[in-house]
Amino acid sequence: MATWKPERALALVLLAAAGFSCGSEATGESALAVVTTIGFASRNGEMVDAIDVSDGIDLDARVGGDADSCRKVDFVAPDGRPGIDNQFTYLFEIVEDMAEEGTIEGIVQGSINNGRLLMMIDLEGVDDWVNDDDVTVRVFNGAGRPTLGSDGYIVPDQTFDKDPGSEVSVGHGRIVDGVLETDPFEVELPMAFFNVFFDLRLQNARVRAHVSPEGVTDGLVGGGVSIEDILGIAEMADAMQEVQYRPILSTILPGFADMEKVGNACTALSANLRFESRRAFLYTTEPPPSADSSADGVSED
């Protein structure tokens, strides 16, 4: 179960961290990126051959609603990829309807910009940035107050600390035509939902993202979110407000679940988050000589 921490405001924030290499024996090049914006992927209202279109990843490597996914129908991605698993979109749409317009996105972005939710992605062991069949991804939380650009997002080439309390999630994958695809691994992300900050565990998570010699530039992270964790979040939120989520969610969530089947029932919802990121450094790493030395500090408040 996650550790729950009450917070103000109804919203959801997802922070996925990446890239820390300490004492690694990996060979090849490496690059660290800090996530500058992130949000839950959801249906876009379009349909292809009577199938809803949603951004996301094929998390179970299957196309179609078979018994292992509790007969839940897959989505199709905007780029035509089939088999997209993203049942969390239904819960997200419910919460979004209950919040004022822009509330969810505003809280997420504000938390990133003030350094509370610094998602770092470290890609290492890269021999070829276009096609490489063996690379390592590290996901963790950063720390520090970032400098923002005129576009309102974190500027590239800043240096951050690693959050000393952050777990490092390690995954392995490959680069195919400039796109990183990982094997399943466990990822924990700091997040806010239903007025509560907590550590979200994505089960059998995968990352699919575009890469360049400067690191991961944009993409998706997805995995299974357990019903138990979602109900725990709702219970904490219910204690702080008149609106009661848990009774409703206890009824509807089993109908959305499509992952982590136990017996005849699925116990988790597939979820995806889309993010954009820019090159960054850690104080424990050396920036390249070409990096602007004035960009390696964290802004003072």
The residue among 167 and 126 whose pLDDT is bigger is 126
* 249's tokens: 């969610």
Evaluate if residue 223 carries a pLDDT over 80. Answer: yes
Q: State the Cα–Cα distance between residues 290 and 66, nearest whole angstrom.
A: 52
Strand partners of residue 221: 207, 273
Would you state the pLDDT for residue 99? 62
- pTM, two decimals, is 0.81
Cβ atoms of 203 and 26 within 8 Å: the answer is no
Count of beta carbons in the 10 Å neighbourhood of residue 1? 11
Q: How far apart are the C-alpha atoms of 1 and 198, rounded to whole Å?
A: 10
pLDDT band, very low/low/confident/very high, at 192 (cuts 50, 70, 90) = low
Average pLDDT over residues 48-53: 90
Give the range with max mean pLDDT: 18-22, 71-75, 242-246: 71-75
The whole-number pLDDT of residue 13 equals 34
Higher pLDDT, 170 or 62: 170
Give the range with max mean pLDDT: 107-111, 240-244, 278-282: 278-282
- pLDDT at position 300 is 43
Residue 156, pLDDT score: 98
Please give the pLDDT value at position 26.
54
Per-residue pLDDT averaged across 120-126, rounded?
97
Question: Around Cβ 218, how many Cβ atoms within 10 Å?
Answer: 16
pLDDT of residue 49: 87
Using CB atoms within 10 Å of the CB of residue 284, give its burial: 0 to 12 exposed, 13 to 18 middle, 19+ buried: exposed
**Mean pLDDT of the 100-121 span:** 82
Whether the pLDDT of residue 130 is over 60: the answer is yes
Per-residue pLDDT, averaged over 196-211, amounts to 88
User: Which is nearest to 161 in space by CA: 42, 54, 296?
Assistant: 296
Tokens of 262: 């136990």
The pair phi, psi for residue 177, each rounded to 5°, is 55, 40
Q: What is the pLDDT of residue 85?
A: 96
Residues with Cβ within 8 Å of residue 217, at least 6 apart in sequence? 33, 209, 210, 211, 276, 277, 278
> Which whole number is the average pLDDT over 31-38?
96
140 neighbors 19 (Cβ within 8 angstroms): yes
Confidence (pLDDT) at 285: 53
| Of 82-86, 109-113, 128-132, minimum mean pLDDT range | 109-113
Choose between 238 and 259: higher pLDDT.
Answer: 259
pLDDT of residue 295: 45
**Domain boundaries in the chain?**
10-282
